[in-house]
Structure 1
Amino acid sequence: MVAATIPSRRNSRFFLIPVAALAWLVLAGCANAPYTGRKQVLMVSPQQEQTLGYQAFADIRRHSTPAKDPALQARVKAVGERIARAADRPDYHWEFVVFQDDKMANAFCLPGGKVGIYTGLFKYIHNDDDLATVISHEVAHALARHAGERLSQARIAQAGGLALGIGLAALGVGSGASQVAMQGYGLGAKVGVLLPYSRVQESEADRIGLILMAKAGYDPKSALQFWERFATGKQDKSQIPQFLSTHPSDASRIQNIRTFLPEAERYYAARR
């Protein structure tokens, strides 16, 4: 017969130390996203976040080829600068670059305002309103500091795993059971925290992006047409369950945009 292991008070106190530290970190990093007011946990400074963004953009530029069409580069820069003025972040070093890759239908905005669009996306972009839809969505990610939020979530997940490991050791849990528990924690953190927050961020970027393009003088209703066209034309038709996806489903995104449009249209009407 194996005697049950009874945790000592000392071990219990030892277990509570990392838990209390984790809770303090979360409370200390509370912030609010612009326009939506959503509560965020941000444990990196804006300066740290922007430095990482500038470094990443420099790396992308080293390994990518800019599009050779000067008219296309100028068009993207002109639309991007209007969106940047609406974003009202003079501390960002805004830059808008088109990269040559006809197979890549994607765009990004790194912390600090570094925006890239791949030529493959232009088969869905029919006019400047469509282009503004893409740029404003990406700029919204930077404006809401989504990269810093994801970095913070990763740190919290790591700290939570460390706290669990210390707690299991303090409670005398065997190494085999401890390993299984830690693996289960990792899966739970990814599915239960990191991925859902990414979907929240994508939806939030849609909402903020609509506002930004409206403030810049672009018709937000065109965003609905663009995303419907993009959803129809995507070659990747794999049906990943939404709870395992980092993006909302196409149907969810389009429905959310319909919900967000009246708010954006008020900004658009106020500008006209």
Structure 2
Amino acid sequence: MRIQLIFVLSIVFFLAACSTTPTGRSQLAFMPDSELDAMGLQAFENLKKDKVTSGSNKQTQFVQCIAASITREVGGEWEVVVFKDESLNAFALPGRKIGVHTGLINLVDNQDQLAAVLGHEVAHVLANHSNERMSQKLGAQMGISLVSAVAAPQTALGQTAISLLGIGAEYGVIMPFSRLHESEADIIGLDLMAKAGFNPTESVTLWQKMAQASQGAQPVEFLSTHPSHATRIEDLQAHMPKALQLRQQANTMGKNPRCMK
């Protein structure tokens, strides 16, 4: 009888923990949003203390202009910070926090290419990928322990917490999501940038530039576990007709971002 009760309770728990991503995929995500947001806020505060922020008003305005257009499509107040770091990285965290490295700003040619990255990163948050990864790897009790552990990134548990969240403790670089998560974020992000009025075709150019950069002496952490460049571009191009339609609708509605680099 006790075994049956445990079995029933387990099924109820997993059903309650199931949610659906914006692409319609079912996922296991049992961490409360409030706790994920608390982790994101704490991790972002750590980064702001440990990393140097950009002193360039022009760079900051460029990034904030793009981020404002992207996040307007998802709602809420998002904090955006530009970090002085030559690595080609950006990230978005639960709790509505966005960080962009100056190296990435220097790489892109225009607003649309950076919008492709920010759309991709915000898509990770929208699709609850941090929660899903944490739920897959850890039990509920351990998940609760991780919330407080983020405040101590030098500890082993703190390292685990912020890695699962999607950033690295020491440098704030992207920690790899699974290829499934990356592919999903590509498609969600493409639609998101198009809905904001950006040109989705520039996403292909952006990833080509990132691929070229990754062939240099230093690997690009951003691409560490992404699908192959050919597969990624193929997937983006297959989804492009829908994205172009969304962009046309956005432009008709007066959404025409003009963010100058």
TM category (shorter chain) comes to: 0.7 to 0.9
Gaps of 5+ in 1: 1-9, 160-195, 239-244
Q: Is the 8 A contact 1:227 1:254 kept in 2?
A: yes
**1:248–1:237 distance in 2 versus 1, CA, 3 Å:** farther
1:75 is aligned to 2:59: no
3-state DSSP of counterpart to 1:126: coil
Equivalent residue, structure 2, for 1:112: 95
Aligned length: 215
Q: Is the 8 A contact 2:30 2:140 kept in 1?
A: no
Equivalent residue, structure 1, for 2:238: 259
Matches within 5 A, 1:89-104: 89-90=75-76, 93-102=77-86, 104=87
Post-superposition shift, 1:147?
A: 0.9
1:271 is aligned to 2:250: yes
Pairing partner for 1:122 from 96, 102, 105: 105
Percent sequence identity over matched residues? 38
CA distance in 1, matches of 2:141, 2:234: 34
CA distance in 2, matches of 1:252, 1:141: 19
Equivalent residue, structure 2, for 1:163: none
**1:202–1:32 distance in 2 versus 1, CA, 3 Å:** same
CA distance in 2, matches of 1:118, 1:202: 19
Matches within 5 A, 1:44-193: 44-87=31-74, 89-90=75-76, 93-102=77-86, 104-155=87-138
Pairing partner for 2:211 from 205, 227, 231: 231
3-state DSSP of counterpart to 2:73: helix
**1:233–1:42 distance in 2 versus 1, CA, 3 Å:** same
| Larger helix fraction of residues | 1
Equivalent residue, structure 1, for 2:14: 26
Post-superposition shift, 1:198?
A: 1.6
Matches within 5 A, 1:199-238: 199-234=179-214, 235=216
3-state DSSP of counterpart to 1:209: helix
Post-superposition shift, 1:60?
A: 0.8
Opposite residue 38 of structure 2, the aligned amino acid is T
Q: Is the 8 A contact 2:20 2:27 kept in 1?
A: yes
1:77-124 deviation per Cα after TM superposition (whole angstroms, max 9, x unaligned): 11101100012x32xx4011110011x111100112211111121242
Q: TM-score, normalised by structure 1?
A: 0.71
Q: Is the 8 A contact 1:202 1:247 kept in 2?
A: yes
Post-superposition shift, 1:252?
A: 1.8
Opposite residue 98 of structure 1, the aligned amino acid is V
Q: Is the 8 A contact 1:29 1:43 kept in 2?
A: yes
Q: Is the 8 A contact 2:186 2:236 kept in 1?
A: yes
Note the aligned Cα RMSD (angstroms): 2.8
3-state DSSP of counterpart to 1:66: coil
Q: Is the 8 A contact 1:22 1:156 kept in 2?
A: no
3-state DSSP of counterpart to 1:109: strand
3-state DSSP of counterpart to 2:19: strand
Larger-gyration structure (1/2): 1
**1:84–1:100 distance in 2 versus 1, CA, 3 Å:** same
Q: TM-score, normalised by structure 2?
A: 0.74
1:248 is aligned to 2:236: no
